[in-house]
């Protein structure tokens, strides 16, 4: 009986692992050539202390880049940096991890982060807009924006715009935007961008991720001829801290953990498309595209609506104070 149970567990575990490999389908950014391209390059990764951002920062450090971790909590960022250095050991040599405070829920913080980068950094080769917040209860940023729209879209909108001059003077350079497949359930409701009339946390997240894609496409149009490219990606479903606001009943937790272990990507697997878009020669000159598993994917028409993208850009400029 015990032997049968053990056999079933081993077989079951094996099948789960195979299913996981198959279902997560993690495309791999090939390391060798990309590593040579990244040596000595300066990269900013927002939200680099956790999940995908942490994995992305670690891989770029391994490629000997100078990685600026844009994080809102210095303590968490320092701990992540220590752990990354310890994990990589000698492989971290030649690269650099730098911590700079950046709270995307505060326009003041975004401005002071950028001011410091512009003062200190002679060049910026890659900006990775990775940080994100998912399905939080209704909250507002320091400047009064609904939190998911404020952090995922508006904070990164201001950040990118303030760093564009440096990216242009460092060209060829790249911007990588982390969105989500859940953009499909979002709409840009211009009448209530701050969700003051009604708030639905799932819709709010999807809307912010649709905004990431519209922003990328409009920015790509504006950057034509500059040798600064911008692309957007979805990472798949990844086991990270993103679900911190989701309440899973205590009894369902073990099942959730098993399912996520079996079927979700690891942060390193999930980060592959960010790393690919940041470092691969294959995407040199490619701009305004949407990627998953290191391959270009098609977008729904709602994410390719150029009029909505322009209107969102214009309104965002006013909201973040770039245009009065």
Ligand X SMILES: NC(=O)c1ccc[n+]([C@@H]2O[C@H](COP(=O)([O-])OP(=O)(O)OC[C@H]3O[C@@H](n4cnc5c(N)ncnc54)[C@H](OP(=O)(O)O)[C@@H]3O)[C@@H](O)[C@H]2O)c1
98-127 footprint of ligand X as x/- string (CB under 6 A): ----xxxx----------------------
Q: Is 296 in the site for ligand X (CB under 6 A)?
A: no
Contacts of 60 by beta carbon, 8 Å cutoff, 6+ apart = 38, 43, 45, 67, 95, 126, 275, 278, 279
Distance CA 186, CA 210 (A): 6
Is the Cβ–Cβ distance between 305 and 214 less than 8 Å?
yes
Exactly one of 10, 73, 200, 281 binds ligand X (CB under 6 A); which one?
A: 73
Q: Is 72 in the site for ligand X (CB under 6 A)?
A: yes
74-93 footprint of ligand X as x/- string (CB under 6 A): --x-----------------
Is the Cβ–Cβ distance between 109 and 156 less than 8 Å?
no
Helix, strand, coil percent values for the chain (each to nearest 5): 55, 15, 30
- Residue 205 among the catalytic residues: yes
CB nearer ligand X, residue 72 or residue 174:
72
The CA distances from residue 170 to 155, 157, 259, 261, in Å, are 22, 19, 44, 41
CB nearer ligand X, residue 219 or residue 242:
242
Q: Is 142 in the site for ligand X (CB under 6 A)?
A: no
Distance CA 229, CA 207 (A): 23
Catalytic-labelled residue, pool 183, 199, 205, 290: 205
Q: Are strands 295-296 and 290-292 parallel, antiparallel or unpaired?
A: antiparallel
Q: Is 130 in the site for ligand X (CB under 6 A)?
A: yes
Exactly one of 220, 223, 230, 242 binds ligand X (CB under 6 A); which one?
A: 242
Q: Is 204 in the site for ligand X (CB under 6 A)?
A: no
Region 39-58 residues binding ligand X, contact defined as CB under 6 A? 46-47, 49-53
Binding site for ligand X (CB under 6 A): 46-47, 49-53, 72-73, 76, 102-105, 130-134, 151, 178, 180, 234-235, 237-238, 240-242
Residues marked active site are found at 205
């Amino acid at each position: 009986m015990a032997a049968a149970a053990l056999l079933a567990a081993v077989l079951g575990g094996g099948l789960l692992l195979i299913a996981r490999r198959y279902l997560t389908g993690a495309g791999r950014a090939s390391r060798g050539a990309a590593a040579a391209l990244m040596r000595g390059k300066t990269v900013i990764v927002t939200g680099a202390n956790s999940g995908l951002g942490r994995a992305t920062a670690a891989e770029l450090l391994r490629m000997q880049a100078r990685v600026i971790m844009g994080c809102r909590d210095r303590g968490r960022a320092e701990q992540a940096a220590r752990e990354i250095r310890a994990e990589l050991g000698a492989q971290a040599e030649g690269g650099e991890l730098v911590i700079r405070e950046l709270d995307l829920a505060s326009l003041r913080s975004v401005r002071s982060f950028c001011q410091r980068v512009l003062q200190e950094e002679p060049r910026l080769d890659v900006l990775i807009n990775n940080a994100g917040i998912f399905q939080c209860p209704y909250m507002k940023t320091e400047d009064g924006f609904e939190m998911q729209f404020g952090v995922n879209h508006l904070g990164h909108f201001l950040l990118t715009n303030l760093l564009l001059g440096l990216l242009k003077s460092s060209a060829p350079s790249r911007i990588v935007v982390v969105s989500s497949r859940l953009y499909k359930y979002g709409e840009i409701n211009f009448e209530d961008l701050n969700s003051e009339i009604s708030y639905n946390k799932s819709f709010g997240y999807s809307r912010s991720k649709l905004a990431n894609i519209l922003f990328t496409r409009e920015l790509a149009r504006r950057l034509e001829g500059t040798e600064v490219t911008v692309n957007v990606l979805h990472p798949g479903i990844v086991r990270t801290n993103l679900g911190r606001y989701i309440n899973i009943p205590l009894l369902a937790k073990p099942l959730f953990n098993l399912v996520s272990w079996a079927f979700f990507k690891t942060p390193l697997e999930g980060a592959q498309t960010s790393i690919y878009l940041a470092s691969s020669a294959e995407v040199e000159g490619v701009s305004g595209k949407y990627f998953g598993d290191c391959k270009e994917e098609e977008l729904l028409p709602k994410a390719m609506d150029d009029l909505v993208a322009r209107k969102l850009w214009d309104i965002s400029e006013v909201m973040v104070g770039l245009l009065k």
